[in-house]
Amino acid sequence: MKLGIVVVYLVAEDDERLLEIHLRQIENNTAVPYRIYAAANRLLPRFRDRLARLPYVTICPIPDVPPGASEHPYYLDRLVDTAVRDGATHICTLHVDSFPVRAGWAEELAAQLQGRCVLAAIQRDKLTDRKPVTECMFFKREFYLAHRPTFRMPEHLLASAEYQRYSLACPHCADSGVGYGFAIWAAQLAWFPLLRVDRGRNRYYCGGLYGDLIFHLGGAVIHGAGPHATSAAQVRAAKLLSRLRSMAVVLLPWRLRRRFLDIFGLSRWVHENFTTPALEANKAALLADPDRFLREIQNQH
């Protein structure tokens, strides 16, 4: 195996420690030959220099695009193509806040790619978001060369009857990763979902262990927004709300939960008062003692 790990390094100024943890986890847990193919277009010079000094990192020259939701998949598409042209036999996408947590992760994911199964990836939710996502997607070069998927889908395909059938068969959010999910479905192939395994998944909205192999913090990839501050009171409120959320998960079907939030205009309020504080609480714990935090996450299943 020659593994190409592709990462778009959109890193906030105060996330140097997170970058170090991400790189350390890859180094410590990856035994197969690998190379990181990095997009660093908006990376601060000191972060870019840190990456450039690593012998296993190639910073790929990619034309800039404006910041926004389409920026990340745009860079990923070009990184995957570069890795394949460079001879990688297997490709893995990661984010700066996602990384392997134990040795042998690449071999375990590669072992899933047999027969009709052409990809292994994190699946955020087996009911509401049944597509592979870029926090971790693992596939062979042969699948990419045969189907040439893209991480986002062009508008004409999103409007097609075939895509509507896919949406009914596999409910999902049409963000990055949907193009790979659609290509697999359209070709009547299969993929292996890495589901969240830690018992704390209802206690925190963000920060989870998937397939007992990959940790994803959530929310650290930036799209032009600056860092945000979170008070201790917000963190306490987030913990209370997370307990209420665990009750809602049991009592309300997911379609009713989404409709309830939309009707009452609560989606933004939940994000500001629940998601963001929960993310900050997990992030603070991870940065303070990465080994302890990850060990506790791994013991929660």
In a domain, residue 215? The reply is: no
Q: Of 140, 173, 194, which closes a domain?
A: 194
In a domain, residue 218? The reply is: no
Single-letter residue type at 92: C
Residues 12 and 145 in one domain: yes
The pLDDT, as a whole number, for residue 262 is: 53
Kindly give the pairing relationship between strand 98-100 and strand 214-216: antiparallel
Per the CB < 8 A criterion, the answer to whether 131 and 123 are in contact is: yes
The pLDDT, as a whole number, for residue 62 is: 97
| pLDDT tens for the chain, residues 1 to 301 | 999 999 999 888 888 999 999 999 999 999 999 999 999 999 999 999 999 999 999 999 999 998 888 999 999 999 999 999 999 999 999 999 999 999 999 999 999 999 999 999 999 888 888 999 999 999 999 999 999 999 999 888 889 999 999 999 999 888 899 999 999 999 999 999 999 998 765 444 578 899 999 999 987 765 433 334 444 454 455 445 544 444 444 334 444 445 545 554 555 555 555 666 677 888 888 999 999 999 998 887 6
Per the CB < 8 A criterion, the answer to whether 216 and 136 are in contact is: yes
Residues 182 and 286 in one domain: no
In a domain, residue 128? The reply is: yes
In a domain, residue 65? The reply is: yes
The pLDDT, as a whole number, for residue 274 is: 60
Residues 104 and 175 in one domain: yes
Residues 241 and 179 in one domain: no
In a domain, residue 99? The reply is: yes
Which structural domain, as residue segments, surrounds residue 63?
3-194
Q: Of 194, 211, 239, which closes a domain?
A: 194
The pLDDT, as a whole number, for residue 247 is: 42
The two three-digit tokens of residue 136, written as one number: 């971790």
Residues 40 and 113 in one domain: yes
What HEC string does 220-245 produce? CCCCCCCCCCCCHHHHHHHHHHHHHH
Residues 110 and 29 in one domain: yes
Cα–Cα distances (Å) from 291 to 8, 17, 213, in that order, read 24, 13, 15
Q: What is the number of domains present in the chain?
A: 2
In a domain, residue 262? The reply is: yes
Residues 72 and 123 in one domain: yes
Q: Cα(114)–Cα(108) distance, rounded to whole angstroms?
A: 12
The pLDDT, as a whole number, for residue 219 is: 74
Q: Which residues of 166-194 are buried (b: 16+ CB within 10 A; e: fewer)?
A: bbeeebbeebbbbbbbbbbbeeebebbbb
CATH number of domain containing 70: 3.90.550.10
In a domain, residue 30? The reply is: yes
The two three-digit tokens of residue 128, written as one number: 């509401």
Kindly give the pairing relationship between strand 34-39 and strand 57-59: parallel
Q: Cα(46)–Cα(34) distance, rounded to whole angstroms?
A: 24
Residues 26 and 174 in one domain: yes
Residues 95 and 181 in one domain: yes
**pTM for the whole structure:** 0.84
Which residue has tokens 């990763």?
177
Residues 48 and 144 in one domain: yes
Residues 114 and 156 in one domain: yes
Sequence-ordered strand ranges (E) for 40-167? 57-59, 90-94, 98-100, 117-122, 133-140
In a domain, residue 58? The reply is: yes
Residues 50 and 149 in one domain: yes
Looking at the DSSP bridge assignments, the partners of residue 210 are 196, 214
The pLDDT, as a whole number, for residue 300 is: 77
CA dihedral angle for residue 172, residue 174, residue 176, residue 181, rounded to 10 degrees: 50
Q: Cα(170)–Cα(165) distance, rounded to whole angstroms?
A: 8
